[in-house]
Amino acid sequence: MAIKRGVSLYSYQQEQFFGRMTWKDMFREVKEDLHCDGIEIIDEATIHGYPFLSEQFVFDWHNELARYGLKAVTMDVYLDPMQFRDHVMNHDEAAERLKNDIVIASRLGFSNVRCLCLVPIDVIEKALPTAEKYNVRIGKEIHMPFPINAGHRRTSYDGPGSIPVNVNMCTEIMELADRTGSKHVGLVPDMGIFQDRPSQVRIDYELRHAKNPESIYFIIDNRTKMDPNELYAKYRERYAPDILDPMTLNSLAMTDSCADPEELREVVPYIVSIHGKFYNMTEIEGEPGHYEDKAIDYRRPFEVLKEEGYEGYIDSEFEGQRDQQDRGEEYLVDEVEQVRRHHEMMTRLIGK
């Protein structure tokens, strides 16, 4: 047994947007070119008529899985507390959405649902009996800037306007699993937690749109020299009012990953599946046909996962397209090629 490869159809969002690939075309690519069998979806991207399922879609879905011998690994589910607009959902309402998503995942044959960092732990606990009943595991995503370990040094601006980060999130999930004895709650690490520098496609996008490009260079040049909060304060002082929001700033200012690969060891028993996040696969200098994402460390986390005996799925999650959609069609990135390169890398790192 070894680490298994899969693809989140999120990776082909641009192809879907332009109507060039349907989910069935993506299935074929996964099987016939990438030679793997794991499928992950975004519920609100793939399921027509969400949050309701049609009998025809369910039959069609299972038929296509059978056609290509694929496995429905993880369905990514969301929480929009503003849905009702006249109030912010309470936690019971949030749990109702999650329960409905679990039932949908079960009917489509998924083993897991991925829920987001900002979903409160008690919402997950409220939905846990449903997860048990339908035999679907809830995996809480560990997404940048959330750390694995609460003691990890701060790596991004965390003042007003930033995402409220619960640094104890992973511990709380592991405690919930241990306290309830449930195998139906765990974690979905996103490889973006091992990103230690801004991706070039991200930098280029902001350079094209900044009123004062010097302000972008200020962030890039000073990101390793200042604490993130100090950097944001100085940036604001110099360039307001034409400044980036804090979350966009964080995507440019990163200088250190929000987790160390070694920290994966303690969470491996709780991993439901993994997001293979990447932005830009380029050929490794001097190694024709071998690819890497220069912004994200894959090598050391893969070593740790192998040493710890992780045998679950890592599903490609390509995210670089969004930074290349502000110009003509000739600048759009080839998602299919990017995912193929990512699988070259994963296959090589998994090894024999």
Site membership for other proteins, residue 86 (CB under 8 A): yes
Write down the least CB distance from residue 44 to other proteins, Å.
Answer: 4
Rounded CA separation 226/253 (Å): 10
Rounded CA separation 243/232 (Å): 10
How many other C-beta atoms can be found within 10 angstroms of the C-beta atom of residue 67?
12
Residue of 5, 15, 16, 202 interacting with other proteins (CB under 8 A): 16
Site membership for other proteins, residue 51 (CB under 8 A): yes
Residue of 68, 78, 134, 218 interacting with other proteins (CB under 8 A): 78
Restricting to residues 156-175, which ones interact with other proteins according to CB under 8 A?
163-164
Residue of 45, 65, 174, 304 interacting with other proteins (CB under 8 A): 45
Q: What is the largest CA-CA distance in the chain?
A: 59
Rounded CA separation 65/170 (Å): 32
Site membership for other proteins, residue 253 (CB under 8 A): no
Rounded CA separation 273/29 (Å): 21
Residue of 49, 69, 286, 351 interacting with other proteins (CB under 8 A): 49
- Amino acid at site 15: E
Residue of 48, 133, 290, 299 interacting with other proteins (CB under 8 A): 48
Spatial contact of 57 and 22, defined as CB atoms under 8 Å apart = no
Tokens describing residue 81: 């507390």
Rounded CA separation 242/236 (Å): 9
Residue of 242, 245, 285, 330 interacting with other proteins (CB under 8 A): 245
Residue of 53, 58, 103, 116 interacting with other proteins (CB under 8 A): 116
Write down the least CB distance from residue 328 to other proteins, Å.
Answer: 7
Spatial contact of 78 and 46, defined as CB atoms under 8 Å apart = no
Q: Which is nearer to other proteins, 181 or 241 (CB)?
A: 241
Spatial contact of 252 and 223, defined as CB atoms under 8 Å apart = yes
Rounded CA separation 7/12 (Å): 9
The one segment of 115-123, 178-186, 302-310, 342-350 that binds other proteins by CB under 8 A: 115-123
Q: Which is nearer to other proteins, 119 or 148 (CB)?
A: 119
Site membership for other proteins, residue 83 (CB under 8 A): yes
Site membership for other proteins, residue 10 (CB under 8 A): yes
Restricting to residues 267-326, which ones interact with other proteins according to CB under 8 A?
322, 325-326
| Dihedral pair phi/psi, residue 186, rounded to 5° | -165, -150
Spatial contact of 193 and 275, defined as CB atoms under 8 Å apart = no
Residue of 2, 17, 63, 230 interacting with other proteins (CB under 8 A): 17
Spatial contact of 138 and 103, defined as CB atoms under 8 Å apart = no
Residue of 85, 179, 225, 352 interacting with other proteins (CB under 8 A): 85
Spatial contact of 89 and 81, defined as CB atoms under 8 Å apart = yes
Q: Which is nearer to other proteins, 11 or 273 (CB)?
A: 11
Site membership for other proteins, residue 42 (CB under 8 A): yes
Site membership for other proteins, residue 84 (CB under 8 A): yes
Write down the least CB distance from residue 271 to other proteins, Å.
Answer: 20
Separation of first and last alpha carbons in the chain = 10
How many residues at the interface with other proteins, by CB under 8 A? 41
Residue of 149, 171, 182, 248 interacting with other proteins (CB under 8 A): 248
Residue 315's nearest CA partner among 125, 104, 139 is 139
* CB-side neighbour CA atoms (13 Å) of 57: 15
Restricting to residues 193-212, which ones interact with other proteins according to CB under 8 A?
209
Spatial contact of 50 and 101, defined as CB atoms under 8 Å apart = no
Site membership for other proteins, residue 330 (CB under 8 A): no
Residues making contact with other proteins (CB under 8 A)? 10, 13, 16-19, 42-45, 48-51, 78-88, 116-120, 163-164, 209, 244-245, 248, 322, 325-328
